[in-house]
Amino acid sequence: MRTMWLGLICQRTFGESSHFKRKKMMHWTELKKEELERQFSPSLWSHRMSADDVIKAHVKALKEGTERARGLAQTLLNVPYGEGDGEKLDVYIPSTNSLDVPLVIYLHGGYWQFLSKEESGFMAVPLVDKGVVVVAVGYDIAPKGNMDLMVSQVRRSVVSVVQQYSHISGLYLCGHSAGAHLAAMVLSTDWSEYSITPQIKGAFLVSGIYDLLPILSTYVNEPLKMTEEVAVRNSPSKLVPQLKLSSSSCHVVVAVAENDSPEFRKQSEEYYKTLEASGLDVTFEDVANTDHFSIIEQLVDGEYHLTKLLLKMMGKS
Ligand SMILES: N[C@@H](CC(=O)c1ccccc1NC=O)C(=O)O
């Protein structure tokens, strides 16, 4: 009888809005290390294939898409945005006479320790076709780079792009997973320390992490070696007041995969709610039939829901 009653309590859904009906979840501080590590292992949650296979397929899809984009578009590869070896970006350029040319900067994922710009041009396939410039930014992943450096690098890459491409009709950001975290950090920049203040019109944050504290004690932090102080100052969830000052007119889309882990989904929901409560222009996209990897891989397809949404945001649908 007692177990039945407990079961009923656990199955009740909580949340103020119809958007976020979910089962009552433990707070991450109450989870054992093993469970936290499972929650922050996106590959374990895919319904499509095994953990190893989903990562292999992910890298393959990104590489193939990037090769296709490099074949289709005019490119400027390895353009420096700073002095460092890793401070380079790739530009995918449409052939168009239009004066209305938006530019989207893509920040790749991979837990700040995998992937590079070499497999990050895939989304240019449908976008360049519609007259959008795509920039894939490289940054120094761990162990070479640390969190403060990566955040500084992506901020400087945005400044450099704005300086190079002052004639564009609008600047947009897109990031996946760790790249969504970096994109949110760009939105939360105090630009007074930089030579210019970029005007970012829209940001697409896909399956991101916005609070770094839960990963501090997990395997994710092994190469990153973040202290609590580093994690706090690089957590977008703690920088929403700065985002409101710097990016008040930016349209933010917080997208999450239906089959992301509950903790990943919670990160997106909570960040969305905080932005919304601050009066920002923000939308939540719960993308059906996707996992942590397919949610971004499918951007090679012009007919994919998120591709269409991104084009619409840039006025190019
Ligand atoms: N241990 C992580 C690995 C991971 O996230 C990952 C690995 C290779 C390339 C990209 C990854 N993640 C997101 O882009 C996982 O379980 O998925």
First to last CA, the chain: 56
- Ligand 1: residue of 34, 38, 43 to mutate (most ligand atoms within 8 A of CB) is 43
pLDDT level of residue 5 (50, 70, 90 thresholds): very low
* Active-site entry in 177, 237, 261, 268: 177
Contacts of 132 (CB under 8 A, 6+ apart): 94, 101, 102, 103, 104, 311, 314, 316
Closest CA to 158 of 187, 119, 124: 187
Specify the residue with its C-alpha closest to ligand 1, atom 9. Answer: 110
CA quadruple 156, 298, 317, 118: dihedral positive or negative?
A: positive
Distance 43 CA to ligand 1 centre (A): 6
DSSP 3-state of 174: strand
Rounded CA-CA distance 176/136 in Å is 12
Mean pLDDT of 133-140: 98
DSSP 3-state of 270: helix
For the cut 70, the answer to whether the pLDDT of residue 62 exceeds it is yes
Look at residue 188 in the predicted model and tell me its pLDDT. 98
Pairing type for strands 22-23 and 13-14 reads antiparallel
Distance 169 CA to ligand 1 centre (A): 34
For the cut 70, the answer to whether the pLDDT of residue 197 exceeds it is yes
Is 260 annotated as catalytic?
Answer: yes
Mean pLDDT of 123-146: 98
Distance 98 CA to ligand 1 centre (A): 38
Would you identify the CATH topology of the domain 30-313? Answer: Rossmann fold (3.40.50)
Mean pLDDT of 129-157: 98
pLDDT level of residue 13 (50, 70, 90 thresholds): very low
The ligand 1 atom nearest the CA atom of 51: 16
Specify the residue with its C-alpha closest to ligand 1, atom 11. Answer: 110
177 in contact with ligand 1, CB cutoff 6 A: yes
Distance 111 CA to ligand 1 centre (A): 6
Is 177 annotated as catalytic?
Answer: yes
Distance 42 CA to ligand 1 centre (A): 6
Contacts of 202 (CB under 8 A, 6+ apart): 170, 172, 173, 250, 251, 252, 253, 313, 314
The backbone torsions φ and ψ at residue 256, rounded to the nearest 5 degrees and listed phi first, read -140, 150
The ligand 1 atom nearest the CA atom of 109: 14
For the cut 90, the answer to whether the pLDDT of residue 154 exceeds it is yes
The whole-model pTM stands at: 0.94
41 in contact with ligand 1, CB cutoff 6 A: yes
